[in-house]
Structure 1
Amino acid sequence: MVTTAWHAAELTWGHGPRRLDVFLEPTCPFSVKTFNKLWVLLEHVGPDRLSITIRLQSQPWHLFSGLIVRCILAASTLPEGREQARRVMAAVAARREAFEFEHHCDGPNRDATPNDIIARLEHLSGVPLRAAFSTPDLDRAIKWQCRYARQNGIHTTPTFMIDGLVTPGMSSGDSIEAWADTLASQA
């Protein structure tokens, strides 16, 4: 039997009993808005009271979605994988237009190859992705993310799940205080 030498780190920050799963597509503008607020929310509520887990939800209309999700999960297999993955997500969030098509169909990224996108992510994040991206069975981690989302009825991003229950009232446009109030009211 062949054993896998890699492990994808869980993308969880905080260690509190209240669990917030956030399903994100890295190039979705609403997911980017959500991603950028998560760290402020964690500080606001307290890492001893809240655990935030990012779940990656690839969406085919974001044409590099699968490639970028694989890059993030590849980063999670590196030393300090959780933080490496966060650096890749932050690079995408900061320069979304470098990884997305205009109107989901056009623009300069039509000429970009997967290797161009990987090199761009390596440059912007400082994370060496190429070798980890080439891990042959990394697709197991990608498939796990897909199955988990489907089993929970997740179809769009961002979607929020508190303690295992989808919370449709939460939105990327909400304030940190509104998110904290929703977390408190769902207790």
Structure 2
Amino acid sequence: MALQPSLNFLRQGNGPNSLEIYLDALCPFSAKITRSLSENVLPLILKGGKYEGKLNLIARLYPQPFHYYAVFHTEALIVFGQLYPDLFWDYLTVIFDTQAEYFNQPSASLTPSEARDKLVHLAVDLLDKKGKSNGPKSKVFGELRDKLEVKSSPNGGNEATDGFKYGLKVGRQNGIQVTPTAVFNGLKEDAVSSSWGKEEWEKFLS
């Protein structure tokens, strides 16, 4: 389905058919389905895959309000994706691998500023690992971290806010309540499960 140009990094692969997965960065089941998509769907739709040129996968970032720090994760994902679109899925995976640190109880004493710092450090470490750092780590950290600062007004947003609002509007418009939720060519697919493995995904896609 459609994406505003500034969020094109949310799309993996290309083709006339579209599979959208609504994900909350602090939802354990969103983490589970993302790992399954990485193993069982991306290889089929990217270069050389069975469905290359036939199917695209869109990660719809959809934080749930009862996961208190999911807002900061969503902002970090949007800012990172706009700067490094080719590594967005890698960062999404890293976010899910560390999500338990930000569950409501473990993060109870964490300030928003501290949470943003930690998320940017994750991004910088990923860029360094992939050989994509544009200068010293401190410089890369500063560039990313600055984009997460609220500058527009006392109650305004940051450089992720427009993309964040767009994602929420799309989800509300489509009646998305829980994560993960799958949408195939515009229609919700309630049968899709975070527990699916290779066999279930291949049967569904065929």
Q: TM exceeds 0.5?
A: yes
The match for 1:77 is 82
Which of 162, 174, 178 is residue 152 of structure 1 equivalent to? 174
- Is there any run of 5+ residues in structure 1 with no aligned partner, and where? 1-5
| TM-score with structure 2 setting the length | 0.76
Q: 1:112 to 1:84 in 2, by over 3 A?
A: farther
What is the DSSP-based 3-state SS (H/G/I as helix, E as strand, rest coil) of the residue aligned with 1:19?
strand
Q: Which residues in structure 2 correspond to 1:133-172 (within 5 Å)?
A: 133-134=148-149, 136=158, 138-172=160-194
- Deviation at residue 139 of structure 1 after TM alignment: 1.5
Which of 96, 99, 102 is residue 96 of structure 1 equivalent to? 99
Amino acid of the structure 1 residue aligned with 2:18: R
What is the DSSP-based 3-state SS (H/G/I as helix, E as strand, rest coil) of the residue aligned with 1:130?
helix
Q: Output the CA distance in 1 between the equivalents of 2:86 and 2:113.
A: 23
1:87 aligns with 2:109: no
Which of 146, 154, 157 is residue 131 of structure 1 equivalent to? 146
- Is there any run of 5+ residues in structure 2 with no aligned partner, and where? 45-49, 128-140, 151-157
Aligned residues: percent identity?
Answer: 25
Given that 1:23 and 1:158 are in contact with CA atoms closer than 8 Å, whether structure 2 keeps it comes out as yes
- Deviation at residue 8 of structure 1 after TM alignment: 4.0
Q: 1:161 to 1:7 in 2, by over 3 A?
A: closer
Q: Deviations over 1:9-64 (max 9, x none)?
A: 43101112221001000110000011112232121353322200000111011110
Given that 1:13 and 1:47 are in contact with CA atoms closer than 8 Å, whether structure 2 keeps it comes out as no
CA RMSD of aligned residues (A): 2.0
Amino acid of the structure 2 residue aligned with 1:16: G
